[in-house]
Amino acid sequence: MNQAAPAIRVSDLRKRFRTTLALDGVSLDIQPGEFFGLLGPNGAGKTTLISILAGLTRADSGHAAIMGHDVVRDYRQARRALGVVPQELVYDPFFNVRETLRIQSGYFGLRHNDGWIDEIMHHLDLTPHADKNTQSLSGGMKRRLLVAQALVHKPPVIVLDEPTAGVDVDLRRSLWEFVSGLNREGHTILLTTHYLEEAEALCGRIAMLKSGRIVALDATRNLLQLTNEHCAQLRLDAERVPAPWQGRLQRDADGCWRINFGDYAELETLLADLRGADVRVLEMHLQEPDLEDVFTDIMKRT
């Protein structure tokens, strides 16, 4: 394994499916140990990109490498370094949980892997279900099994393709605790998700894809600064606001006043003017800009 190489390197990847251009020259480096988010609307090319990394799809041009191993030329090393949790909830109904994990280990040439299999099952709460046929598992348990299967060979790079789609809150939380733990241990995580709050909470860096192109790529905190639209919601003891603020403040159906502002100084002025006009603030809520605002903004602009 090439330690100096990026965990994932993608250079000018292009892929067309008949009339659809799924990837249009995507280049990206993800460093070892990163928790990286890949966001984009449906059809943006996220799954195509992941499929190329995993060797499930072949790019028309460009290169992709995992830990310095080209996914086509050096596919054995590349696949050993990669664990993929697929988006679809797939399972093999012929086997139970333990058999599934043993067989999956075998595909990676690992014969005596029971110690690690027990550990993964323990961490993912699969141990009580070890002898159950995969068909009889609940959706959440099947999802956990998919995660376990992706980890049987201890890959340094883990790709999770929308792993929490349709998953209940408890499982989502425990899954993220587990994956964050893996990241702290040094695993590189590439995550695609539709839940932007997840990406905001977990990912150090984020790339946004649209129509097969990267339209934003930066540290999550930098992306959050791209939009400075804060929002304040106020309940006042008056029916009218001072004249300069009429128009700036919008009244909600429930009687609250709402204002979008870029700078906290503006909010300070508003509060001073309200005090000067003898209007009392009964209640105030502040809303910070979130990734969803940035995402919506970028998708609109590009």
Partner 1 sequence: MSGLSALFYKELLRFWKVVVQTVVAPVVTALLYLLIFSHVLEAHVQVYPGVSYTSFLVPGLVMMSMLQNAFSNSSSSLIQSKMQGNIVFVLLPPLSYLEFFLAYLGAAVIRGLVVGLGVWAVTLWYTPFQLPHPLWMLAYALLACAVMGAVGIVAGVWAEKFDQLAAFQNFLILPLTFLSGVFYSIHSLPPFWQAVSRVNPVFYLIDGFRYAFVGQSDTDPMLGLLVAGACFVAISALTLMLLKSGYKLRH
In terms of CB distance, is 98 or 230 closer to partner 1? 98
Q: Binding of partner 1 at residue 187 (CB under 8 A)? A: no
In terms of CB distance, is 112 or 301 closer to partner 1? 112
In terms of CB distance, is 103 or 267 closer to partner 1? 103
Minimum CB separation of residue 57 from partner 1 in Å reads 4
Those residues with Cβ within 8 angstroms of residue 183's Cβ, 6 or more apart along the chain or in another chain: 33, 35, 189
Minimum CB separation of residue 180 from partner 1 in Å reads 23
Minimum CB separation of residue 102 from partner 1 in Å reads 8
Site for partner 1 in 70-99 (CB under 8 A): 75-77, 79-80, 82, 84, 86, 88, 90-95, 99
Q: Binding of partner 1 at residue 24 (CB under 8 A)? A: no
Q: Binding of partner 1 at residue 149 (CB under 8 A)? A: yes
Judged by CB under 8 A, which stretch of 109-117, 241-249, 262-270, 293-301 contacts partner 1? 109-117
The count of residues interacting with partner 1 (CB under 8 A) is: 34
Select from 2, 58, 173, 238 the one that contacts partner 1 (CB under 8 A). 58
Rg of the Cα trace of the chain?
Answer: 24
Enumerate binding residues for partner 1 (CB under 8 A). 17, 51, 54-58, 75-77, 79-80, 82, 84, 86, 88, 90-95, 99, 103-111, 149, 153
